[in-house]
């Protein structure tokens, strides 16, 4: 396939808002691709040339890409950039200025050029990237240039999520989009869409045989929530409860020589924890995959500090001074692989037994604090104990539950309370729009339109406006820095909204909010029609608490969770 033909599909998909039609078009595209082209095309659809966990970024800002376009055109850089600012879309400027060309560059050739561009690093790489991109644009048709530039600058924004890609792959390769769970399982165990596409071409048996691989992150299992110890005991019965730590959830891989640490967003963050790795290397000798919560402790008092302190380690070059100022301790709560044996399908009690046998308490890490719970009174007492030592609640887990990668369910239940007449738990929501402020907030965003995630439909459904809880720095500096790169002229195809904000955003920023209660609403689409016909669910008196940079938009609170929280209010 030529990249021009691929770009024609992208243009059609970008213009479509119906999910089923997008799946049909993707399936048609996948059916046209050769076995060699399919995995590469799947990656390009996500705006990447390698799985996210490899950390291979293009490193090309929009202004630098505009210089490459000027070089390809033999035009003045200032004039090209001026036109970009007028139009607001570098891709459209390229489409306007480049001459029409027949044919098209082979898709695999474009992929290889973009891969080489992303891999280029070191002294002089910026100039080499510019020249490589310019050479590619010189050969590209206007439509090809639109999507080449959008891919390298991180502005593809097709409105196509991973779930939709997997469903279309099931339709195109297996002949039935209902077989998406087969591909989903393989993806949850490897976090590698290209690899899943390759396996799908080999058939259902190849997909079914996928196992975890050290070095490839497992998509993390997620918890449901219940508001009271009575409901938790009714749901789980006798169970194991663990402290819920307020840190960064990490997944550590060790193959006997090399280490990888992944965040819950499947980002490689190994460089942020050299002190932890030193301790792991000293005490844990066999190959393993484990999960832990990395918590910063006060270097003087030893008390655990809130999640935000971990963010101080998110720097390119972590110094000894920073590590001393923000010392980390890891609380290990899962052992998923040990010395050649995957453990995900074992019941929790067996995984916990293996964990406690393998992970000795040390200065830098220890097994999470856990206890068998048999009564409501024991659960209440353990909860108060967790709060007393500075943690935020409990995770209650079914003793016979396996580890379900990438899934949310009642095998794990979060127990956390809010104070002052608020909801029993906070919500993680995705910013999808905003209204301009007035008065003191003039010139910046006054309130945000936020949404929950519906995994069945792979879409974001609005649940509230949020305007309180923000500091002046949030409003004047932090929010514009975070949201301006995500601005869109129209809502993302993955956003279902009845309200019309002043500005739309690509779903990307996750924030944590609290609220007083959940109400029925004719204006919001969260779980629309699920509780009452013609009504969605909305948050009453929501308040911003913090940014959740550790979560992908698809890890936000689900619409179904909001339904459950709504019903719990009346129990």
In a shared domain, residues 118 and 246 = no
In a shared domain, residues 359 and 305 = yes
Between helix 193-202 and helix 162-169 the angle, nearest 10°, is: 10
In a shared domain, residues 543 and 488 = yes
**Contacts with 510 (C-beta within 8 Å, 6 or more apart), sequence order:** 428, 429, 430, 431, 547, 548, 549, 551, 552, 553, 555, 556
- Band (pLDDT 50/70/90 cuts) for residue 247 is very high
Whether 424 shows a pLDDT value over 80: the answer reads no
Q: Is residue 264 part of a domain?
A: yes
Could you tell me which residue, 409 or 372, shows the higher pLDDT? 372
Question: How high is the pLDDT of residue 436?
Answer: 93
Q: Is residue 13 part of a domain?
A: yes
Give yes or no: 244 in active site.
yes
In a shared domain, residues 140 and 187 = no
Could you tell me which residue, 418 or 183, shows the higher pLDDT? 183
In a shared domain, residues 189 and 293 = no
In a shared domain, residues 230 and 196 = no
Averaged pLDDT score across all residues of the chain: 93
| Alpha carbon separation from 529 to 449, 472, 491, 518, 533 (Å, rounded) | 20, 38, 22, 15, 4
In a shared domain, residues 468 and 363 = no
Segment 434-456, tens digit of pLDDT: 999 887 777 889 999 999 999 98
In a shared domain, residues 148 and 166 = no
Q: Is residue 422 part of a domain?
A: no
Report how far residue 563's alpha carbon sits from residue 557's, in angstroms, rounded to the nearest whole number.
11
Between helix 62-73 and helix 90-97 the angle, nearest 10°, is: 10
**Of the candidates 387, 415, 443, which is a domain's last residue?**
415
Q: Is residue 312 part of a domain?
A: yes
In a shared domain, residues 351 and 383 = yes
Judged on CB neighbours under 10 Å (0-12, 13-18, 19+), 40 is buried
**Of the candidates 362, 390, 415, which is a domain's last residue?**
415
In a shared domain, residues 203 and 281 = no
Q: Is residue 217 part of a domain?
A: no
**Contacts with 298 (C-beta within 8 Å, 6 or more apart), sequence order:** 304, 305
- Band (pLDDT 50/70/90 cuts) for residue 419 is low
Q: Is residue 203 part of a domain?
A: yes
In a shared domain, residues 411 and 439 = no
**Contacts with 222 (C-beta within 8 Å, 6 or more apart), sequence order:** 407, 408, 409, 412, 555
- Band (pLDDT 50/70/90 cuts) for residue 250 is very high
Report the pLDDT averaged over residues 508-536: 94
- Catalytic, out of 129, 179, 244, 414: 244
Whether 354 shows a pLDDT value over 90: the answer reads yes
Contact indicator for 250, 334 with CB cutoff of 8 Å: no
- The CATH number of whichever domain residue 391 belongs to comes to 3.30.470.30
Whether 423 shows a pLDDT value over 70: the answer reads no
Report phi then psi at 547, rounded to 5: -85, 140
Segment 42-54, tens digit of pLDDT: 999 999 999 999 9
Task: Report the 3 state secondary structure along 35-104.
Answer: CCHHHHHHHHHCCCCCCHHHCCCCCCCHHHHHHHHHHHHCCCHHHHHHHHHHHCCHHHHHHHHCCCCCCC
Whether 320 shows a pLDDT value over 80: the answer reads yes
In a shared domain, residues 188 and 280 = no
Which among 377, 383, 379 is positioned nearest to 417, based on CA atoms?
383
- Number of separate helices (H) and strands (E) present in the chain: 21, 21
- Band (pLDDT 50/70/90 cuts) for residue 308 is confident
Question: How high is the pLDDT of residue 226?
Answer: 82
SS3 309: helix
Report the pLDDT averaged over residues 4-20: 93
Whether 417 shows a pLDDT value over 90: the answer reads no
Report the pLDDT averaged over residues 184-204: 97
**Of the candidates 389, 415, 441, which is a domain's last residue?**
415
Helix (H) or strand (E) holding 352: helix 348-358
Domain enclosing residue 267, as ranges: 222-415
Q: Which two tokens stand for residue 2?
A: 């030529």
% helix, strand, coil for the chain, step of 5 = 40, 25, 35
Contact indicator for 193, 43 with CB cutoff of 8 Å: yes
Contact indicator for 239, 398 with CB cutoff of 8 Å: yes
Whether the full predicted model's pTM is greater than 0.75, yes or no, is yes
Q: Is residue 215 part of a domain?
A: no
Q: Is residue 184 part of a domain?
A: yes
- The CATH number of whichever domain residue 559 belongs to comes to 2.40.50.140
Report how far residue 365's alpha carbon sits from residue 282's, in angstroms, rounded to the nearest whole number.
12
Number of domains in the chain: 4
């Amino acid at each position: 396939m030529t990249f021009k033909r691929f770009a024609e599909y992208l243009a059609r998909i970008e213009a479509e808002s119906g999910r089923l039609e997008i799946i049909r078009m993707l399936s048609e595209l996948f059916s046209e691709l050769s076995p060699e082209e399919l995995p590469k095309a799947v990656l390009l659809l996500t705006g990447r040339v390698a799985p996210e966990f490899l950390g291979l970024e293009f490193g090309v800002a929009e202004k630098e890409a505009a210089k490459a376009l000027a070089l390809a055109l033999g035009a003045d850089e200032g004039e090209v950039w001026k036109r970009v600012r007028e139009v607001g879309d570098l891709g459209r400027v390229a489409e306007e200025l480049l001459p029409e060309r027949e044919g098209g560059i082979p898709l695999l050739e474009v992929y290889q050029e973009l891969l080489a561009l992303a891999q280029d690093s070191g002294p002089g790489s910026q100039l080499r990237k510019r020249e490589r991109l310019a050479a590619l644009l010189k050969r590209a048709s206007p439509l090809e240039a639109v999507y080449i530039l959008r891919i390298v600058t991180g502005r593809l924004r097709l409105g196509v999520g991973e779930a939709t890609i997997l469903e279309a792959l099931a339709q195109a390769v297996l002949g039935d989009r209902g077989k998406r769970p087969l591909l989903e399982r393989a993806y949850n165990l490897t976090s590698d869409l290209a690899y899943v596409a390759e396996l799908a071409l080999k058939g259902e048996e190849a997909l079914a045989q996928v196992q975890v691989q050290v070095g490839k992150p497992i998509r993390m299992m997620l918890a449901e929530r219940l508001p009271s110890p009575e409901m938790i005991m009714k749901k789980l019965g006798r169970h194991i409860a663990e402290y819920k730590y307020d840190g960064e959830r990490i997944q550590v891989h060790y193959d006997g020589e090399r280490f990888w640490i992944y965040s819950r967003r499947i980002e490689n963050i190994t460089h942020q924890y050299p002190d932890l790795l030193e301790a792991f290397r000293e005490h844990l000798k066999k190959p393993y995959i484990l999960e832990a919560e990395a918590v910063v402790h006060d270097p003087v008092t030893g008390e655990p500090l809130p999640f935000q302190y971990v963010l101080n380690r998110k720097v390119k070059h972590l110094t000894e001074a920073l590590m001393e100022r923000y010392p980390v301790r890891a609380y290990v709560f899962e052992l998923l692989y040990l010395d050649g044996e995957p453990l995900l399908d074992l019941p929790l009690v067996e995984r916990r037994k293996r964990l406690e046998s393998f992970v000795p308490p040390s200065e830098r890490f220890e097994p999470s604090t856990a206890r068998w719970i048999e009564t409501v009174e024991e659960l209440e007492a353990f909860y108060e104990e967790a709060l007393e030592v500075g943690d935020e609640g409990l995770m209650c887990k079914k003793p016979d539950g396996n580890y379900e990668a990438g899934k949310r369910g009642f095998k794990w239940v979060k127990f956390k309370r809010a104070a002052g007449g608020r909801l029993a738990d906070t919500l993680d929501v995705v910013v999808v729009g905003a209204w301009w402020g007035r008065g003191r907030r003039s010139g910046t965003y006054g309130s945000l339109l936020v949404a929950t995630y519906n995994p069945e439909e792979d879409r974001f459904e609005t649940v509230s406006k949020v305007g309180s809880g923000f500091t002046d720095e949030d409003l004047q500096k932090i929010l514009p820095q975070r949201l301006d790169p995500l601005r869109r002229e129209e809502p993302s195809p993955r956003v279902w909204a009845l309200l019309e904000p002043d500005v739309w955003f690509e779903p990307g920023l996750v924030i944590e909010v609290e609220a007083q209660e959940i109400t029925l609403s004719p204006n919001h689409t969260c779980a629309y029609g699920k509780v009452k016909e013609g009504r969605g669910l909305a948050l009453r008196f929501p308040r911003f608490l913090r940014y959740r940079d550790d979560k992908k938009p698809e890890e936000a609170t689900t619409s179904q969770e909001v339904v459950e929280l709504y019903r719990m209010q009346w129990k």
